[in-house]
Amino acid sequence: MMPEEQIRAFNPNGPGIPGRLFGLPYTMETARLVILPVPWEATVTYHTGTAAAPEQIIRASQQLDIFQNGIADAWRLGVTSLPLAQEIRKESDRLRWLAKESAAYEDPEAKRLVAESIHKACENLNIYVKKQASQLLDQKKIVGLLGGDHSTPLGFLRALSERHSRFGILQIDAHADLRKAYEGNIYSHGSIMYNAMKMVAVSRLVQVGIRDWCEEEQELVKKTGGRVRTHHDEDLKLRMDRGESWESICRSIIKDLPEEVYVSFDIDGLDPSLCPHTGTPVPGGLSFFQASVLLRTLATSRRCIIGFDLNEVGSSDGTDWDANVGARILWQLCNWTGVSQGLLNYVPTK
């Protein structure tokens, strides 16, 4: 069956197509939005397992009911995924093993050589991601990145910064990720926003749900003179306790963002009951509903989501709960991106 015929024959109320992201009938030729999976966790510093997330999320996505309240025929946006890059996963696994082994080394020079090897591999990954994202952007595709640890979108952000003179980042995260380096690694998952802020095109970083950060990061935020706006989880909850609605809070959050916005979604920004196997879980966080409302508020505010990432979804211990939640967050990111670009129509329900 030809791709166009498969789309015409697709029944959104029936079972999805096996092996396809969300069970949808789209190919690279027919999709508007393409997911770039990056199975990489060379920089994780606590629990491992995020490298397996892209495969697990894609598998879990095939059993989702794809109806989206308020968005008629959301599935018609056209979403697909690039194949999993197994060579990336193998290199990530090799480096994780090397990092674990080197912890027992007594020779400082041996430790330095391992760190240098990981650093070089991370930069090679950034080059790979930038190349893949650039090729998709050149084809006029909307791109979403699916990690992996939170270091993975740097190459994608570099590609976007060459195409957009000014854009903001909405970061949903438990951590500020503004360290200059972590454990000596400048490409650490704890440094992704520090590296993003080096890009002149990134005019504003708005952080939501932060509840685990260090003094170095706090001082950096102060020095940016408002370029970084941080909404700590505790402060958000206090505002709700005092009677402010979440929808109103969301509007106040996004008012500081420019017209074009990149969304960086670290799953640990959610309550850890939704992502128990994420690499660095922290008490507190957003509910699924709160995250969805935040994305909806952004998408309906006349701002354009130019790309997004979803990272730090952990591997589960015999269940697929984390992957199920991750797949649903990914579906939300795809749909609200489509709404923001005028490709899907959102009509609020009464």
Segment 59-70, tens digit of pLDDT: 999 999 999 999
Q: Is the pLDDT of residue 108 over 80?
A: no
Spell out the residues 6+ positions from residue 227 whose beta carbon is closer than 8 angstroms to its own: 197, 203, 204, 205
Predicted local confidence at residue 298, as pLDDT: 98
pLDDT band at 48; cut points 50, 70, 90: confident
Contact 327, 64 (CB under 8 A): yes
Residue 311's pLDDT is 97
Query: Do residues 172 and 266 lie in contact, with contact meaning Cβ atoms separated by under 8 Å?
Result: yes
Q: What count of other Cβ atoms lies within 10 Å of the Cβ of residue 305?
A: 24
* Range name among 143-147, 187-191, 230-234, 297-301 with the lowest pLDDT average: 187-191
> What would the pLDDT profile of 72-101 be if each residue is shown by its tens digit?
999 999 999 999 999 999 999 888 887 777
Q: Given a cut of 80, is residue 279 above it in pLDDT? A: yes
Mean pLDDT, the chain, rounded, equals: 92
Q: What is the pLDDT of residues 240-265, one digit of tens each?
A: 999 999 999 999 999 999 999 999 99
Spatial neighbors of 234 by CB under 8 A, at least 6 apart, are 211, 284
Task: Please tell me the predicted confidence (pLDDT) of residue 110.
Answer: 74
The top-scoring range by mean pLDDT among 12-16, 117-121, 164-168 is: 164-168
The widest CA-to-CA distance across the chain, in whole angstroms, is 67
Return the pLDDT at 97: 80
| pLDDT number for residue 318 | 65
Indicate the fold that domain 3-340 takes in CATH.
Arginase; Chain A (3.40.800)
Q: pLDDT-derived band of residue 207, with 50, 70 and 90 as boundaries? A: very high
